[in-house]
């Protein structure tokens, strides 16, 4: 039987306009604490101290599918892990805020949020990865725009969600043509607000992923300046609270194995995944059926090449002053799960 997240097990998250530097400030941690309070109100304590576990999900991806289908319940119950407490978040940064204060044990985000979390000394661990082909996103410009290439973005309004994987893609794309973020007017908007701004001609370029990417191309005639596959693809990561990983390594292995199987199911049942995503997001089913065919779902153990690419992003951000200090990704890598 599918599990639905009750109102008391939802996180309000954080305003996507909030600067990343504030995400892990005292205020940011207080906001994240709301997730802990919500779980407590439901009579659910931290998964790191009992046999239950607190899992984060967003309105997309393998974690949404697992939450909706309830498919992790039986295999994890067999492993002695129960109950499963699900908490919904709007994006990666507030999810990691909650993880930093112990309100969430495990969740999936893009590649950039954990970098900012590690810089802020948040107790998180990389525990698994999902390689991204980059076919499900890109940098687009409105129909009829004078911007014809990435170089033409100089002095223009380039929109992306600060601290998201799109932030990193923006940096890489600009560097590929000899530009930096200082050469453009960076606009920090979440996907929904950015979609409205794009439709109204309020921004000149948008770094975005599906389904917004495909929707803008199909319905608004958006022109692609660069596909994310041309920028290296990247990866998403399953991340765990460090105390949880250290205290319950066998449970973490069982969790990752169960989620990996769910990823296999997703890859083999993309239309069903589209139906789940459509109900969660309110987006058009037929569009999602198309985008899910380009979505990557394979959950696998951490690999040296992906961690090296993540370190290269850290080095790039530090050199450009996007983060105040360099961190070592391998210091935050937990490699106890081998598949």
Any residues with CB less than 8 A from the CB of 247 and at least 6 apart, and which? 48, 49
The region of weakest confidence among 5-9, 239-243, 257-261, 322-326 is 5-9
Domain range for residue 265?
A: 7-132+234-332
Q: Quick check: 46 and 103 in contact, CB under 8 A? A: yes
Q: For the chain, how many structural domains are there in total? A: 2
CATH code at 178? Answer: 3.40.190.10
pLDDT value at 42 more than 60 = no
Residues 143 and 113 in one domain: no
Residues 111 and 96 in one domain: yes
Does 115 reside within a domain?
yes
pLDDT, greater one: 6 or 120: 120
Residues 175 and 217 in one domain: yes
Residues 32 and 65 in one domain: yes
Residues 142 and 27 in one domain: no
pLDDT tens for 14-26 read: 332 233 334 444 4
Q: Given this model, what pLDDT does residue 135 score? A: 77
Q: Token pair 């990557």 is at which residue?
A: 296
Residues 96 and 239 in one domain: yes
DSSP 167-200: HHHHHHHHHTTT--GGGSEEEE--HHHHHHHHHT
Does 339 reside within a domain?
no
Domain-ending residue, one of 205, 231, 257: 231
Residues 115 and 257 in one domain: yes
Residues 107 and 244 in one domain: yes
Domain-ending residue, one of 215, 231, 247: 231
pLDDT tens for 148-190 read: 999 999 999 999 988 777 888 999 999 999 999 999 999 999 8
pTM of the model: 0.81
Residues 221 and 315 in one domain: no
Q: Token pair 């973020």 is at which residue?
A: 181
Q: Given this model, what pLDDT does residue 20 score? A: 37
Q: Quick check: 271 and 292 in contact, CB under 8 A? A: yes
Burial readout 117-147 (b: 16 or more C-beta within 10 A, e: otherwise): bbbbebbbbbbbbbbbebbbbbbbbbeebeb
What DSSP character marks residue 111?
S
Residues 193 and 259 in one domain: no
Does 338 reside within a domain?
no
- Selection from 10, 9, 27, 8 nearest residue 18 by Cα: 27
């Amino acid at each position: 039987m599918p599990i639905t997240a009750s109102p008391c097990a939802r996180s309000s998250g954080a305003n996507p306009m909030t600067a990343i530097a504030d995400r892990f400030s005292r205020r940011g941690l207080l906001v994240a604490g709301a997730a802990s309070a919500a779980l407590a109100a439901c009579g659910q304590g931290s998964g790191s101290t009992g046999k239950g576990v607190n899992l984060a999900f967003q309105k997309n991806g393998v974690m949404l599918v697992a939450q909706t289908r309830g498919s992790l319940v039986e295999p994890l119950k067999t492993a002695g892990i129960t109950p499963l407490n699900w908490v919904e978040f709007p994006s990666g940064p507030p999810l990691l805020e909650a993880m930093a204060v112990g309100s969430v044990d495990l969740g999936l985000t893009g590649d950039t949020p954990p970098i900012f979390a590690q810089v802020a000394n948040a107790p998180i661990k990389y525990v698994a990865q999902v390689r991204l082909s980059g076919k499900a996103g890109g940098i687009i410009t409105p129909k009829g725009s004078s911007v014809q290439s990435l170089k033409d973005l100089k002095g223009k309004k380039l929109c992306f969600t600060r601290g998201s994987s799109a932030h990193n893609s923006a940096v890489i794309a600009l560097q590929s043509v000899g530009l930096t973020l200082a050469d453009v007017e960076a606009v920090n908007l979440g996907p929904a607000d950015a979609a409205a701004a794009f439709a109204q001609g309020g921004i000149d370029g948008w770094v975005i992923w599906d389904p917004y990417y495909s929707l803008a191309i199909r319905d608004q005639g958006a022109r692609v300046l660069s596909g994310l596959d041309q920028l290296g693809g990247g990866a998403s990561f399953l991340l765990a609270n460090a105390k949880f990983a250290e205290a319950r390594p066998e449970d973490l292995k069982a969790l990752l194995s169960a989620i990996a199987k769910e990823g296999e199911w997703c890859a083999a049942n993309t239309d069903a995944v589209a139906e789940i995503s459509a109900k969660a997001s309110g987006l058009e089913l037929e569009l999602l059926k198309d985008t899910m065919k380009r979505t990557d779902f394979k959950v696998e153990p951490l690999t040296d090449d992906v961690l090296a690419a993540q370190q290269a992003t850290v080095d790039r951000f530090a050199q450009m002053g996007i983060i105040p200090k360099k961190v070592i990704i391998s210091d935050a890598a937990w490699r106890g799960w081998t598949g």
